[in-house]
Structure 1
Amino acid sequence: MPNPKSSSHVRFAAVGDIHVHKDAAGTLRSFFAQAADEADALLLCGDLTDYGTAEEAKVLAEELGAVPIPIVAVLGNHDFESGTPERVTEALTHAGVCVLDGAACEIEGVGIAGTKGFAGGFGRGSLGAWGEPAIKLFVQEALNEAMKLESALAKLRTRRRIALLHYAPIAGTVQGEPVEIFPFLGSSRLEEPLLRYPMDAVFHGHAHRGTLEGRTISGVPVYNVAKPLLQRSRPDAPPFFLYELPREPATEEEPAAT
């Protein structure tokens, strides 16, 4: 039985790394329906398709077509694999999904800022923009994504705020992965904008063998909601992460000045 929607809280079902392939038609509808029964909105944290093809995106859009709650998404690296991420975005947008790429939206009084993010490493292990042009381009991509996140966060005007990423902004939620690949799972440069704005929570995917929860330097919870991680770490629960925030009380409009 679905949980009744709450009048005091807004509930979000968050999941990433669904990796929809061309033969997945019909396999995710019950999963999405269960998320819709539990939550007021669905958050998708990238790697929504397996190879980023138009065919896969069409299957995903059809699976999401019957979801009656708002859906907000960012793309992941797999959605770029075929070189046409715009096809994935187009299919999702046509299905009513709000795809964020350095942008923000609002759902039931909660502001959501999102971008894909990028790699580069964490803390003292972060790659610096020094040496060959290829290294500088790599680092610049991480900086560009961090600036996109900063821009999206600056657009929020709500008291309650969530950030949506694919790559991890902290090392804490990639713990469990081979340490050799940490630099390719996220970047501390994504954490920097999150420290400059008040946040309630951050969601990302990408690290299938990582850790469910960590915190930014400032104590904001960060959740790794990669579907394979959720399935493995919580085998008796649906493979989405349910998160809730208190609803903001409605404010009466001030009378117009006379």
Structure 2
Amino acid sequence: MSADPKKVHADIDADREDGPRDVPRALIRLIEDEGLQVGDRLPPELELVRRLGFGRSTIRETLKTWESMGVVSRNKGAGTRLISEISRNTLRVALTIKHEAESLLRMQQVRRPLEIEAVRIATRLATPEQRRIISARAAELMAIYEVGEDWRPADSRFHNAIHEATGNPLFKQFIEQIQKAFHDIYETPFGTPHLGQETIPLHRPLADAIIAGDEDRAAELTATIIDMVCTATQNFSEEHDG
């Protein structure tokens, strides 16, 4: 017998955090509460939107991730069917990580060219005072990192100093909007707040390149920093896949 839709919805609402990472959790709970087995069809997308309270695009994105992992099959005529067993105690963590990784990688793909261009412009246009501030922010970041404290606020201040040196406030606005769209994931990806901390030592030479007016070197280091975060994201996802 199917579970009461109102009860399922209420139960999910009770422990969700309204972040992108909660869509897989909500879907898994619905599957368990409905008693769906391999070969059974999931409710249509519009019904999932109504019952779970997430947007259709968000649910569709999660189902595409599940399809790529071999958890469901999707067919216009047959709908979405389970093709492997799933429960909150087995695949929840793997599915959540996979979904977060793909979202974070998409965010970095959009952020990458913006950050590189911002660094190039800042290297060309920064005033002596702005270069001094960038250097000071880098020193602050390295000092906090070296004593093992939370370096994320200092990292944000460092990059903000670069954005301000471009003379174009849209760089800061656009990058902040991108990060805000993925706020839950960006702040603590995979529950690991310091993902990408191996890139922090590169921020000192990045600051030095900007101060020296070496545009190509600054752009190269920025690309390397973002690529390292993407690689760490992919590696984490692969280590916990399935």
Q: TM-score range by the shorter chain?
A: under 0.3
How does the TM-score come out when normalised to structure 1? 0.25
CA radius of gyration, larger in: 2
Structure 1 or 2: more strand by fraction: 1
